Amino acid sequence: MSVDVEGKSLVDLLDMLEPAPVPEPISMVPQTWGWGVLAIVLSGLIILGIFAFLRHRQTNAYRREALAELAASDNDAAKIAEILRRTALAAYPRKKVAALHGGDWANFLNQTSDNVSFTDSDGRQLAEAPYRMIKANPDLAALARNWIKSHKRDRTA
């Protein structure tokens, strides 16, 4: 096609240009099978992570409940002793916990958590609390809270 450019204005010449072709839309589908495998593996890991989180949350529901009851106990030694006993019964076999009392109970609490140390007076206070109306010392509630948070759960329970 021969075009006579002489005698034409620049606007006329620009109007004669053909528009550039529109490119094909870019596909968002991965081009290689490796990306598909990676997507499946990542999806599986995310699902497993969610499952593990929910299982951990369900397994430790008794801890959250015990901490809520402890916060509402108003520093009552009898309630603290009851909350500790019920928490231990939820985490350990009944045979191992139900018969413990006095010094054995305090030793059990000390052995099942690394960061808590119930002294003889704390153990005595826990043992006597259900039978006497006494206010717990503030350290007892803090010890109970730490034990509930940090005790090592028995896997066979």
Query: Domain residue spans in the chain?
Result: 59-150
- In terms of residues, how long is the chain? 157
Q: What pLDDT digit, counting tens, does each position of 49-93 carry?
A: 999 999 999 999 999 999 999 989 888 888 888 899 999 999 888
Q: How high is the pLDDT of residue 150?
A: 87
Q: Is the pTM of this model over 0.75?
A: no
Q: What pLDDT digit, counting tens, does each position of 15-43 carry?
A: 888 888 999 998 887 778 888 899 999 99
Report the distance separating Cα 116 and Cα 146, nearest Å.
7
SS (H, E, C) 119-131: CHHHHHHHHHHHH
Label residue 81 exposed, middle or buried (CB < 10 Å: 0-12, 13-18, 19+): buried
Write down the mean pLDDT value for the chain: 84
